[in-house]
Copies of this chain bind each other. A is one copy, B any other.
């Protein structure tokens, strides 16, 4: 359970998670954008034997990621990202104004509540099962997930308006929270087509894809969506 995936330094920051997990990547993007050295340790709660007992001690709900900073252990990705932003030097990833801060929290919360499940589990994962195992998704459920995803995309576009980033002209935690989900969603032809209907979002996705933090955290799914890994 403790095979290091990436040894970036022998620093006191460790992130327990999985390289291709959406939420692990969100936390990694925050670490990368702040320039924090960290070690990614594999913790797989999705294995055939369920959540390892060792991991349940660190995260009572058996999810990932978990951040360990010296003796401070923290789970819940939204808490991890804010913590990383607030305790480490580097660019500020939370806006200054109350209204922008509220919009950032709103985007993060709506992604968790309404976008993650349909975009990632009901569309991306179903599509991968089709590609890898030939398992056909339930068409009605797939279409329903696409409609839910579209509602979430529209809500995000309404907040983004013509800004460069999702909340104003500076990169914030909202961008880092959204990118991994929308990136996986865009690997599915139907997801890609839906995003293309919102040019401001398609441009944002292309712009984000150029970031060093994104390259440093890319998953095998992005490079070989046709193949199992």
A residues with a Cβ closer than 8 A to B are: 60-61, 72, 74-80, 82-83, 86-87, 98-99, 101-103, 105-106, 109-110, 112-114, 151, 154-155
Residues of B near A109 (CB, < 8 A) are 76-79
Chain A to chain B contacts (Cβ below 8 Å), 17 pairs: A60-B151, A60-B155, A61-B110, A61-B114, A74-B102, A74-B106, A75-B110, A76-B106, A76-B109, A79-B103, A79-B105, A80-B102, A82-B105, A83-B98, A83-B102, A86-B101, A87-B99
Do B76 and A99 have beta carbons less than 8 Å apart?
Answer: no
* A113–B76 CB distance below 8 A: yes
Are B98 and A86 in contact (CB-based, < 8 A)? yes
Residues of B within 8 A of A83 (CB): 98-99, 101-102, 105
Q: Which residues in B have their C-beta under 8 angstroms from that of A72?
A: 99
A87 CB → nearest B CB, Å: 4
Chain B neighbourhood of A101, CB < 8 A: 82-83, 86
Cα–Cα distance between A78 and B112 once the two chains are bound (Å): 12
One complex includes copies of this chain to the number of 2
With both chains docked as a complex, state the minimum distance between the C-beta of A159 and any C-beta of chain B, in angstroms: 10
Most chain-B Cβ atoms within 10 A of its Cβ — which of A76, A83, A113, A151? A76
In the assembly, what is the distance between CA of A102 and CA of B80, in Å? 7
Of all chain B residues, the one with the shortest Cβ separation from A148 is B61
A60 touches B154 (CB 8 A): yes
- Whether A82 pairs with B110 at a CB distance below 8 angstroms is no
New A-B pairs, 8, CB < 8 Å, besides A60-B151, A76-B113, A86-B98? A60-B154, A61-B114, A74-B106, A76-B109, A82-B102, A83-B99, A83-B102, A112-B112
Residues of chain B with a CB closer than 8 A to A113's CB: 61, 76, 112
Contacts of A78 in B (CB 8 A): 105, 109
In the complex, chain B residues whose CB is within 8 Å of the CB of A155: 60-61
Cα A155 to Cα B61 in complex, Å, equals 9
